[in-house]
Each structure stands twice: as structure tokens, then as C-alpha cells.
Structure 1
Amino acid sequence: MAQTHKLERRARVLNGIPRDPVPGRSPAQRLLRNPWVWSTLVLALVSFVGLWDMYAMMHPDVEVPGGIIPGITNQSFILAAKYAWPTAAVWVALFVLLDRFRRQNVWMYLLVFLWGGAMSTWFSIYVNTWMGEKLGVSGADPSAGARSAVFSAPFVEEIAKTAIIFLLAILLRYRLVSTLQTVSMAGIAGIGFAFVENIVYYARAHNFATLTPEIVDPEAAMLELVMLRGVYTSFGHPLFTAMTGFGIAVALRHRSKIVRICAPLAGFALSCLGHMIFNGISSVVPGEQLRIYWFMALGLVLMVVIALVGQTITEGRRIRARLTDFVRSGWLEESDPFMYSRWRSRVAMITVAVFQPRRLPATLEVMRMMTELAYLRDSITRGLVDEAGYGRARGLLERIEQRRLIAVTSSAGERIIWPKLKLPRRVGVGQPVPVPVTAGSHLNQR
């Protein structure tokens, strides 16, 4: 009995349900009890150490036989970060919008981005350098050779980026319920890696340009690389990592043990293959002949976008069908499957709740739990979960009923309540200033 209670309590935490929903708990207490907050803070500290170590590696001058290689200046790093963050912000926003039905909390997104931006780059810079030396690459930066970029860097970098996705899939197998989730999380990890990598490449280009007398405007020379990596080929790392996300999603939604093992490996192999082809073409093909390959890459990106759009439609239909099962049993209202399976209905409910801040947290929580309930029901029908799934479903239904009293569960009959701004009353010149009347003041009048 104790073991069963422990498993149910762990399942509630992994599904985003409070372990013991005490109504009097303050937001600060809930924040301090959130394990993802502490996990993110610990990873942020470790990430700072990794970023500082990489900075200490690239900033000082390096003595080599025959001379000194100048380090990257702080000015170059700051300017590189200025041009690198817009690309990361746009791609992160796109992947967050993609995860529309079962959106994770902000701590999960920050955790994945920190891992991709700091931990994976920290691991890759050492392993790529070591592999470059083993492959016989000579020069100031052994990891920059063509052989290292084609035969070692793709495997090292994809392992580093996707390690966090595999870990989350193991720990949160009940919370990562759809392809859109795993692809979005993998894409954010990839763009975090690309963000830090772009800073390094931009800073190197600017630092080299400042030390070259023939280059009049170092910033203009760096902007050519910014357009190439930050605009034209910015889809590279997110696209490669998303392949592994596809494989993990297939594994999480399939009963066969063979598929659960082979699907993530196949996705990882595709990501490494795409990364190898991309690096090989960039390293070998001359710049004037890259246009045809760029159009081919855009065609692949378009195919992935079409597949994600189709998956979005499929996910909406699955949610509606599984929530309808609970309507037939009398657990949910008839309008719930329609409202929580359509993107427009969700946006309408969130819009109403935004102007009623007291109802917004409950509205978002009910949306998350409705989606979790639908996918849990789908897993039960597929035979992916055991009898403990019924306990989790019961907990979700109980929590939905509690929060439904406050949440916006339908846009019908709701209206946007605009905030009322009370302007201070202006007193004209020569007019007496009104004196507030307090209780008992009439006793002092004669």
C-alpha cells in the first residue's frame, strides 16, 4: 500500500499536479517546492562555470611555435552576442508556439535552452578538439578542420544536444505526450547550441577583421557571417536535433520494445547524417556553388514544416476524440472536447483570462490537464500504461473539477473586462479643496 501511494504521488508530480493540493499555499511556497525551479538554478550555476571556462580558453593569447595567436577581445564577444540573440529569440518563440496543446512551463524551456547553450557546447569544444587532434588536423584550432567537422563533430554535438531530451523522456514519460512536445524541446536545445556557437564564430570573425589592416570595417565583415549563419542557415541545428525529437516521440507512443529502442536511434542517425552532409558541403563546396544546395535544404525544411502542420491537425483530432470518451462517462461537459481541441478556442479563453488575472492561472492549468487527460486516455487504449494510469486520470479529473470553478472553460458568454483607470480629480484655481468627512466629525461641529 505504501509503495502504491508513493508511485501515485510521484505520478502526480510528473504530471504537473500538486503533490498535496493545499488551497492556502502561497505562490512563493509553490515556487520553492517546485523541483524544476531548483533543477534550473543548479544547471544555471553549472552553465555559468562552463561558459566561463570556454571564455577563459578563447580570451587569452596563445603561444604557439613561431608566434602568438591573439585571443578574442571582450569587444568582439559583446558585439557577437548583440547579433546572435535575435536569431535565438525568433526560433525559441516559434518552437514555443509549436508546443500549443501541452505547453511546458517556462522552467522546462529554460532548462533545455541552458543545456543546449552551455553544457552541450562545453562538452563539444573539448571532445571536438581532442577528436581533431586524433584525426591529424593541424593548425591553431584542431576542431575546425574539414575532417573533424564531417566525421566527429556531428556525432559529438548531436549526442551533447539530445542528451537532455533522452533524460526528460525517461523522467517525464507521462508528461511528454506528443510529437509537438519532443520536437519543440529538441529544437530549443538545438537553438541554444547554435546561439553560443554563433557568438564564438561571430567573435572570431570580428577579432580577425580588427587585426587585419586590409579590412576597413570589421563589423561589416562580420555581418556577412551573421547573414550566413544567423539568417540563411539558421535552421541547421534545430532541424538536426528535431530529427531525434521525432524518434523519441515515436518511441513514447508505441507498444513494441523494438520500436522504442530503434526509433530514437533512427532519429539520432538521421540527425547525424544531416549534420555530416551540411558540414561536408559547407567545408568542401565553393561559396558560389552553395546556392543550389541551399535551395535543397529549404525544400527539406518545407517538408518538415508540412509534417508538423499535419501533426498539429492530428493532435487536435486525437484530443477531441479522447475527451469525448470522458463526456460519454459523465466526467466532462459536452463543450470540453470542442473547446480544448481547437487552437482558436484556446486563444479565446486565454484572451478572456488575461483581462481577469485572478482566473488566468486556473485557466492555463485546466488546459494543461485536459490535454494530459486526453493523452493519458489514448495511452490507456493503446496499452502503454498499466492500472496506475486510472489513478492518474482520476487525480486529473478531480483537479479539473476544482479549478473549473475559477478557470475560463468556454468563451461563450464571456466578455473582455477592460481595466478601469481612475484619474485624479483636478481642483480648479479658487475652488475650495474638499475635506474628507470622517466618522464622528459631526460631533465637533457647533
Structure 2
Amino acid sequence: LYELVGAGMLTTAFLPVYLSIKKKVGQDEANAYTSNLLSIVVVATGLVAVLGFFFAAEVVYTQSFSAGADFDPTLAVYFFRFFVIEVMLYCFSTIFSGVLNAERDYLWPAAAPIFNNFVTTASFFAYAFLVNTNPELGLLILALGNPLGVLIQVLIQVPSLKRKGIKLSWRINLKDPALKETLKIGAPALIVVVATFVTMSVQTSSQLSVSASGASIAAYARLWYTLPYSILTVPITTALFTELSDSWAKENMDQFKKDFKHGINQILFFTVPFMMYLMIFSMPLVSIIGASKFTEDQLLLTQQFLIGQSLALPLYGIGMYLQKVCSAMRRMTLYAVSATLGSVVQVLVLLVGTSHFGMMFVATTSAIFYVVIDTIMLISLRKHLGQIGLKSMVFAFVRSILFGLAGSAAALLIMVGLRVVIGVPDGRALYGVLYCI
């Protein structure tokens, strides 16, 4: 719901408009724009949270309509009623992070989600401690862990805002010209979010049709899938988003294309080898987080999902970066068209192939989605901007494959040795850690 209501527009539109206002009329007007947007978002997301609370069962059904008999909709609805407040909290975090990134303060926007994870992880440990003695209290703590974590993510950025002189207040001005500019850039992003929402709904339903634990399997696998992206790629794209927006506003096309090419090359350099790493170490990685939680069959399905999902890692990193590029250029319609076509293709493939090919196939369709997006986007940007360094990108891709293959060969030799010395890691957390180290 957060993605559907605010994330697309806020993530893509806020920073370019904020920078433009600050450069043209100063910090005070930029603060006024931020205050106005934040106030409107509070009202809109507050309404969504209330509706989500009362219609929780209907929302849960959109993600589980093909679930098997083992799925517990009552428990899902219970958790969702706690989680729905995150729609508002995440919008706060997105705006605060956008302001700090625009001010080139990247530390706390990057660190804030880490503290969110600390709180959420603590709630999991508390649940594990209480599940046998007081399961109701354990479930309550588990349900509160997520929204409390996001609240911490929001609050931890506030001191940095104050140090930067960002003063926010309650104000709503629907006639603010900056809002029109925000909508102009952000409206196509809503199309992207809707397309992604539909795709994720079908993909989640497909996972559940393969296994009643499909949602959990995907969640565990995506923890590892998103880790290299979050640690290595997000800092690159976040910093370059500010620079790209600044270069576009100044009409400095040479610098814009230089930064664009540099971003693609860096993403490929990091994500291609890690794609191979995730595949090779899929079972050890799954064993670390799935030990004592999953059966042998569930571990195997999680491994399959991680391998299939890993194929999309470089494509996903580039796709997310291209979204920021379009936002900086204020041409989100191009990305919206690409994402919609990608969504249509992925949904059709899922509906036709899931029953025949199983869990790994479901995960692999994410790569198809981003292949469509990245191909259309790069062709369109080449046509619009001229030379964008495609040869350099191909060279970076080949170099990354070679590095990845060299590392993979070494990893396979190490794994063979470990199998002889300590055995296979299937389902054993300690063995999984030893393999990955």
C-alpha cells in the first residue's frame, strides 16, 4: 500500500522539484514546499491507513487469492492491521530522506533503515522466546515490531534535518505551483506502482499456488537477494540521483551522460559477481535464516527461489537506476510505459508457466520483467540523448562476468573442500555461516 499510495510519486518527483525550488527562490520556499507536501501526505496516508484497517481482509485477499488450504488469512489480517500505519510512516521517511539527499547528507538516510531492522529483528527474537509460554504476547510483539521499526527510521533522521536548517510546519496549499510540477513528474510513477502492484500480486499468488509457505519462502530468499543491492547499489544510485537532477536542471548534458554511464558501469561491476555468489551459496545462505524453521522441502524451494531471483539482480539494479534517471530528466512517462509492458509480459508468463515449472520459474520471471524495462529504456535514452556509452557498458558487463566467474570458481573449490571436511550445510545455520565466511 505504501508503494501504491506514495512511494512512487515521492521517490521520483520530490527531489528534482525540491532542488529546483531551492536554486531558484531559496531555502525558505523549499521548506514551505516540503511542509505543504508532507501535510497533504499525512492526510492522504492517514485516510488510507484507516480504510486499510477496516478493510484488511479484502486487502489480504488481493495477495492470497490462490493460496492453499494451509494459509491462515485470520493471522494475516491480524498482522496487516498493525502494519497498515507504516503507509504513513514510510512516506515521512521518504520525504525526510529526500531532503537530506538533496542536501548531500547521505549518512542518516542510509543508516535509518538499519535501525529499523534492529527493532524488527528484536521483535522476532522476542517472539521466539515467548512462542511456547505466551504465544498471544509473542504475536503482539511481532506485530508491533514492524511499525515501531519504521517509526525509529523516521525519528532518527530528524536531528539531521534540524542541523541542515530544515524547518517544517503544518500547512496545506493545494494551489502551490510546485505541487503541479510534482504531479507532472510523479503521476506516471503511479502507473509504475500500479503495474508493479499487479505483478507482485500475481507473483505472490503464484508462489502460494506452488506451496502454502510460498510467501515465507519468497520473503526469506529476498532477504539475501536485496542485501547486495541495498548495500552496494543504493548508495551509488542515491548519490547519482542528486547529481543527475542537478546536471539536468543546469542543462549540463555532458556531465549528465557521464554520470549516467558511470552509474550503469558501477552497478554492473557489483551486481553481476554477487548474482553468481548468491547462486553458488544459495543453500548455505538459506540455511542461515531457515534453520529449524523450514522442512527439507521448504529449504529446497527457498534455494530454488533464491537462484531464480538472483538472475534478476543486475537487471533490477539497472532498472531502479533508470527510474531515477527518468525522474531527473522529468520524463517518467517513458519509464511508466516500459514498466507496464514488462508487467504485462511477466503476468502472462506467470499465468501460463507456474503450474508447469514451479517455484524457481516464478522467481525467474522477475528477470523477464526487468529485461523488458531495461531494453526499452536504454534504446529510448540512446535515441533521446545521443551517445550514452553503450560500448562502455558492454565492456563493464563482460569484465564483471569474468570477475564473477573467477570468484565463482574459487568458491566452488572451497565448497567442495568444506563438504569433505564438515559436510553439507542443508538446514544447519552454523554450517551455513562457515560456508559463507
Same fold per superposition (TM over 0.5): no
TM-score if structure 1 supplies the norm length? 0.31
Q: Which has the larger radius of gyration?
A: 1
TM-score if structure 2 supplies the norm length? 0.31
**Is the helix fraction higher in 1 or 2?**
2
